[in-house]
């Protein structure tokens, strides 16, 4: 039985951009900065929002905010969100590739960064995905499973990216699901492995003419 409720209650706190580092410059009051610091420390997930239409806002994600957040909450998942997507031109392959490179670099440098997405608060575009990703980062965190320092997590990950305890867990699940003890997972065994491993079962496709098997060593 899952330890998590069927419906996860989500509380969104609109945290001010006031940093404790601005106090010394007499830009922000001590009380406001401490309030922001307290809100960050109480959060289960941090959503770092930048303006996609301003290059300087995007640059401060890594040069300032991620450095600050990882010091205040080194183990809390972070989502990097580009807002005001309605102010940029239509999405194209070149822009998507640049955004992917930007996110991949952040994930590799800061293990707490779970993912990066873009949205438009004005047009309510992809806001539901943002909340869903924030909930998933808390309930199903990636950091305990993958070592981002070794290689950026992507669809074609290698076993070297998996943390040792995760590898042991997957091997144990494999042996449990390998009902006939032949060292392979057939079509009847593989769906059970996916369910126990926390992934979505693959649907059978008509083009699979030969029995499919998977082996773990």
Last residue of a domain, which of 70, 105, 139?
A: 139
Structural domain count of the chain: 2
Same domain, 113 and 26: yes
Place of tokens 């082996």: 215
User: What are the tens digits of pLDDT across the range 71-84?
Assistant: 888 888 999 999 99
Q: HSE of 156 in the Cβ direction (CA atoms, 13 Å)?
A: 0
Same domain, 100 and 167: no
What's the CA gap between 192 and 157, in Å, rounded?
22
Region of residue 145 (left: phi > 0; alpha: psi -120 to 50; beta: else): alpha
Average pLDDT of the segment spanning 20-40: 62
User: What are the tens digits of pLDDT across the range 2-11?
Assistant: 555 556 566 6
Same domain, 64 and 120: yes
Same domain, 105 and 212: no
Q: What is the pLDDT of residue 197?
A: 65
| Residue 88 covered by a domain | yes
| Residue 1 covered by a domain | no
| Residue 4 covered by a domain | no
Give the domain extent around 202. 163-217
Same domain, 72 and 109: yes
User: What are the tens digits of pLDDT across the range 92-112?
Assistant: 778 888 888 898 888 888 888
User: Could you tell me the pTM of the whole model?
Assistant: 0.66
Q: What is the CATH number of the domain that holds 107?
A: 3.40.50.300
């Amino acid at each position: 039985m899952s330890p998590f409720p069927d419906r996860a209650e989500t509380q969104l706190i609109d945290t001010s951009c006031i940093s404790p580092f601005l106090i010394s410059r007499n830009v922000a009051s001590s009380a406001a900065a401490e309030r922001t610091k307290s809100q960050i420390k109480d959060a289960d997930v941090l959503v770092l929002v930048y303006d996609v239409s301003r290059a300087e806002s995007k640059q401060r994600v890594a040069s300032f905010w991620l450095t600050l957040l990882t010091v205040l909450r080194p183990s809390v998942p972070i989502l990097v969100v580009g807002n005001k997507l309605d102010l940029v031109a239509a999405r194209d392959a070149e822009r998507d590739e640049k955004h992917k490179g930007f996110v991949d670099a952040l994930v590799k440098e800061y293990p707490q960064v779970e993912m990066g997405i873009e949205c438009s608060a004005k047009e309510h575009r992809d806001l539901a995905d943002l909340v869903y990703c924030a909930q998933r980062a808390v309930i199903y965190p990636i950091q305990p499973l993958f070592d981002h320092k070794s290689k950026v997590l992507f669809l074609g990950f290698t076993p070297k990216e998996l943390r040792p305890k995760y590898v042991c867990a997957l091997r144990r699940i494999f042996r449990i699901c390998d009902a006939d003890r032949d060292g392979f997972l057939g079509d009847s065994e593989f769906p059970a492995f996916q369910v126990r491993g926390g992934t979505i079962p693959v649907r059978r496709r008509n083009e699979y003419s030969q029995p499919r098997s998977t082996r773990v060593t």
